[in-house]
């Protein structure tokens, strides 16, 4: 590795590159490492400088914390709701824009992606006000609806990218062979979209799960895991929050590894297909 | 015979301001092998897309088997289209591709796989059923597309340059295969190509198309021997050409004043004296004249070179910047050296005088 690099860069730039990498990784991972370490510290505010000894006790404290548990359940419920709303909405939008060559396409596209450019707070507040007029007060439902407004834009962009790559003549060929529009969708379009459906669902879930801005305004008296952590900040943190962080880091690494393995296998399959 | 006839009545189509096909009348007979021949972009694919139901004519009406197709979608028409891009389903095996149309008709797996196997055997791909399209060669993919279209037993098969990606040997093989399939099934074929040789060898009749207009429809012999326009003459087959003005007409013949003197030819369209015209004579009807031989029309030229095509040879001559070709069988060849002064000639009956007009550029 260094052999290859030193031949294309000078020795000086090689050093600069290495220093840069060290700083970069420190910047990325040092806070994470400190957070993880503080989660195992006996001391009852998150810290690594005052080390009172190693402990698992914050895991126990977290396990006893009912509000955290109910927040987790709420977060998952909302995320599932967001997936249910934003997948068909995004798919429909993507179809409209890529398949119907209307002269209003530009306008339509603008409207569909505008929630991405709108501050999350506004989405939350406006959803809350709108539904309150209809007699629905803030809660999990309004939080899910508010989040879905902008997450649908994400899923739509992902479906659009995929649909644009599809050869429209495949759908025409299926029609020509006697397939109805429903059959074409089920046998030709869906199999083609399948990988994107999976990815879009995962992204929608993560976007929903980590959302704070929109949720805090739309959720009324209820709470999610993230809004709960946010509100506790005011009273000072407990290492139990670090434990949540530890769990997430662990889950992220696990899922990322699974995803990479899965994708590599898919890539091998695709390259086998391409010959 | 299960083929159906197709009729285009004043069919035209516009895309915005652009007219892709001007009002066209055309009748293709049931069970006929009909080719549409024309240069790239002249509207061949567009006509097929209207017949199969993917585009609606801006004006006019299309009838298949005497029935108007207005408002009938591609899935309900008795046609099957082989796309220029083939459009095989990449995520399905070859067998699933071929059986797709039957699956859509609700045929059970067993019978439809048997039928697919039958068709794969027909196109000599009997042992390739489990592969996916990307694992096949270009020629094999083309044959899968043909099998897939035949599986639904269409009354009309529309083929959009299906052999264009194949090498010469395979193309010749597939030509006779297609012709066989067409004879055996009696399906009406509308075959699109810009290869005139292909159109001539396979078709019963040909339409020659240029820029959204069908210039001539006729049997292969008619189109080759009696082209009706300068474009049709030059698009189908090679020619020696002489441009000029008609000076005299008499009994189906005319005399044309050209750069190289007065030349006589047939006058199939009864052009009148004074018209701008072009005299066409096919290279195989043009002779190299030695001392004793005579012809009604003669032109002095300089020998350039020859192209040997096995059984045939093309001799190339030049005069100023005009090029002339003589096509001879490879028997009793006269040999020339570059720069030799020769005389070429032809009889009036062998030549055709047509109105001046746009030529097919080659
Ligand atoms: N959907 C469309 N919108 C606008 N113009 C179109 C459309 N479809 C075809 N055209 C135009 O119509 C003309 C004829 O196209 P067509 O595809 O029929 O040509 P073709 O004869 O099949 O040519 P090739 O031999 O290259 O396939 C072209 O100029 C093309 O640009
Ligand atoms: Mg075409």
DSSP state of B88: -
Asked if B23 and B204 count as a contact pair (C-beta separation under 8 A), the reply is no
Token pair listed for B318: 């030049």
pLDDT of residue B123: 84
SS3 at position B264 = strand
Residue B28 CB less than 6 A away from ligand 1: no
Chain A CB within 8 Å of residue B297 CB: no
As a whole number, mean pLDDT of residues B316-335 equals: 86
Q: What pLDDT sits at residue A7?
A: 53
In chain B, domain spans: 6-230, 231-355
Whether ligand 1 lies within 6 angstroms of the CB of B42 is answered as yes
Pairing of strands B188-193, B156-160: parallel
The yes/no answer to whether this complex scores an ipTM above 0.90 is: no
Percent share of chain B, pLDDT over 70: 99
Q: Does the beta carbon of B193 lie inside 6 Å of ligand 1?
A: no
Q: For ligand 1, atom 29, which residue shows the shortest CA distance?
A: B41
Å from CA of A271 to ligand 1 middle: 33
Q: Judge if the beta carbon of residue B43 lies within 6 A of ligand 1.
A: yes
Q: Are strands B188-193 and B33-37 parallel, antiparallel or unpaired?
A: parallel
Question: Smallest CA–CA separation between B169 and chain A, in Å?
Answer: 24
What are the Cα distances from residue B334, in Å, to B101, B248, B342?
A: 59, 35, 11
User: Which residue from A minimizes the CA distance to B153?
Assistant: A177
Position in ligand 1 atom list of the atom nearest CA B47: 18
Pick the CATH number of B231-355 from 2.40.50.140, 3.30.465.10, 3.40.50.2000, 3.40.50.12280: 2.40.50.140
Per-residue pLDDT of chain A (275 residues; tens, 9 = 90+): 444 444 566 788 889 999 999 999 999 999 889 888 888 888 888 888 888 888 888 888 888 888 889 999 999 999 999 999 999 999 999 988 888 777 788 888 898 889 989 998 999 999 999 998 888 888 899 999 999 999 999 999 999 999 988 888 999 999 999 999 999 999 999 999 988 998 899 999 999 999 999 999 999 889 999 999 888 877 777 888 888 889 888 988 998 899 888 888 877 776 665 54
CB contact under 8 A, A175 and B132: no
Q: CB neighbours of B173 closer than 8 A, spacing ≥ 6?
A: none
Q: Where are the alpha helices (DSSP H) in chain A?
A: 2-8, 11-38, 57-63, 66-99, 105-117, 120-133, 140-165, 168-176, 181-184, 190-210, 213-218, 225-232, 239-274
Interface list for A 134-193 with B (CB within 8 A):
167, 169-170, 172-180, 183, 187-188, 191-192
Nearest ligand to the C-alpha of residue B194? 1
Look at the pTM and tell me if it is higher than 0.80: no
Q: Is the CB of B40 under 6 A from ligand 1?
A: yes
Average pLDDT, chain B: 91
What is the assigned CATH class of domain B6-230? alpha beta
- Predicted local distance difference test score (pLDDT) of residue A101: 73
What digits encode the pLDDT tens for the residues B302-321?
Answer: 999 988 888 889 999 999 88
Phi, psi for B70 (deg, rounded to 5): -60, 130
Average the pLDDT over B270-287 and give the result.
92
> HEC profile for A234-273?
HHCCCHHHHHHHHHHHHHHHHHHHHHHHHHHHHHHHHHHH
Residue of A nearest to B133 (CA): A273
- Sketch out chain A's domains with CATH numbers: 66-239 (1.10.3720.10)
DSSP code of residue B65:
T
pLDDT tens, position by position, B15-30: 989 999 999 999 999 9
Do the bridges between strand B287-289 and strand B297-309 make them parallel or antiparallel, or are there none, so unpaired? Answer: unpaired
Distances (CA, A) of B357 to B176, B179, B229: 35, 34, 7
pLDDT at B148 over 90: yes
B320 burial type by CB count under 10 A (0-12 exposed, 13-18 middle, 19+ buried): exposed
What is the per-residue pLDDT for B303? Answer: 92
pLDDT band at B1 (very low <50, low <70, confident <90, very high): low
């Amino acid at each position: 590795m260094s052999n290859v690099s030193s031949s294309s860069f000078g020795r000086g730039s090689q050093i600069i590159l290495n220093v840069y990498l060290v700083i970069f990784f420190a910047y990325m991972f040092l806070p994470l490492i400190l957070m993880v370490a503080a989660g195992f510290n006996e001391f009852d505010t998150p810290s690594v400088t005052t080390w009172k000894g190693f402990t698992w006790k914050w895991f126990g404290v977290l396990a006893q914390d009912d509000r955290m548990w109910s927040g987790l359940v709420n977060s998952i419920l909302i995320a599932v709701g967001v997936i249910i709303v934003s997948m068909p909405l995004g798919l429909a939008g993507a179809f409209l824009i890529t398949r119907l060559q209307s002269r209003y396409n530009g306008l339509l596209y603008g409207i569909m992606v505008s929630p991405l450019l709108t501050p999350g707070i506004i989405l939350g507040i406006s959803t809350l006000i709108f539904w309150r007029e209809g007699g629905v007060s803030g809660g999990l439902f309004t939080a899910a609806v508010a989040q879905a407004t902008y997450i649908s834009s994400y899923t739509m962009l992902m479906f659009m990218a995929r649909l644009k790559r599809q050869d429209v003549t495949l759908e025409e060929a299926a029609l020509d062979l006697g397939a109805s529009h429903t059959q074409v969708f089920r046998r030709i379009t869906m199999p083609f979209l399948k990988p994107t459906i999976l990815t879009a669902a995962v992204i929608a879930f993560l976007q929903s799960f980590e959302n704070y801005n929109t949720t805090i305004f739309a959720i009324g008296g209820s709470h999610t895991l993230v809004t709960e952590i946010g509100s506790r900040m005011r009273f000072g943190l407990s290492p139990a929050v670090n434990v949540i962080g530890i769990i997430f880091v662990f889950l992220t690494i696990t899922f990322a590894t699974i995803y990479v393995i899965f994708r590599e296998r898919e890539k091998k399959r695709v390259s086998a297909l391409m010959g | 015979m299960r083929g159906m006839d197709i009729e285009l009545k004043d069919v035209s189509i516009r895309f915005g301001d652009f007219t892709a096909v001007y009002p066209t009348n055309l009748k293709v007979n049931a069970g006929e092998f009909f080719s549409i021949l024309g240069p790239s972009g002249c509207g061949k694919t567009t006509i097929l897309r209207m017949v199969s139901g993917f585009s609606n004519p801006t004006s006019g009406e299309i009838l298949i088997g005497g029935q108007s197709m207005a408002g009938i979608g591609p899935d309900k028409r008795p046609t099957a289209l082989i796309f220029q891009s083939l459009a095989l389903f990449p995520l399905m095996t070859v067998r699933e591709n071929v059986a797709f149309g039957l699956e859509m008709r609700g045929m059970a797996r067993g019978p439809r796989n048997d039928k697919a196997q039958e068709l794969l055997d027909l196109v000599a791909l009997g042992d390739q059923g489990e592969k996916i399209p990307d694992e096949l060669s270009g020629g094999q993919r083309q044959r899968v597309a043909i099998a897939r279209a035949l599986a639904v037993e269409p009354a009309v098969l529309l083929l959009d340059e299906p052999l264009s990606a194949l090498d010469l040997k395979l193309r010749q093989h597939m030509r006779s295969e297609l012709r066989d399939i067409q004879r055996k099934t009696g399906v009406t074929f509308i075959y699109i190509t810009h290869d005139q040789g292909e159109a001539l060898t396979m078709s019963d009749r040909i339409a020659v198309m240029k820029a959204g207009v069908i210039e001539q429809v006729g049997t292969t012999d008619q189109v080759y021997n009696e082209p009706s326009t300068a474009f049709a003459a030059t698009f189908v087959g090679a020619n020696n050409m002489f441009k000029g003005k008609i000076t005299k007409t008499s009994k189906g013949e005319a005399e044309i004043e050209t750069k190289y003197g007065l030349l006589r030819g047939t006058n199939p369209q009864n052009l009148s004296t004074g018209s701008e015209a072009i005299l066409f004579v096919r290279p195989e009807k043009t002779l190299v004249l030695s001392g004793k031989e005579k012809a009604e029309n003669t032109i002095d030229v300089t020998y350039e070179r020859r192209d040997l095509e096995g059984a045939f040879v093309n001799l190339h001559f030049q005069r100023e910047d005009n090029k002339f070709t003589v096509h001879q069988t490879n028997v009793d060849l006269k040999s020339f050296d570059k720069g030799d002064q020769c005389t070429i000639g032809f009889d009036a009956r062998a030549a055709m005088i047509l109105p001046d007009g746009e030529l097919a550029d080659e």
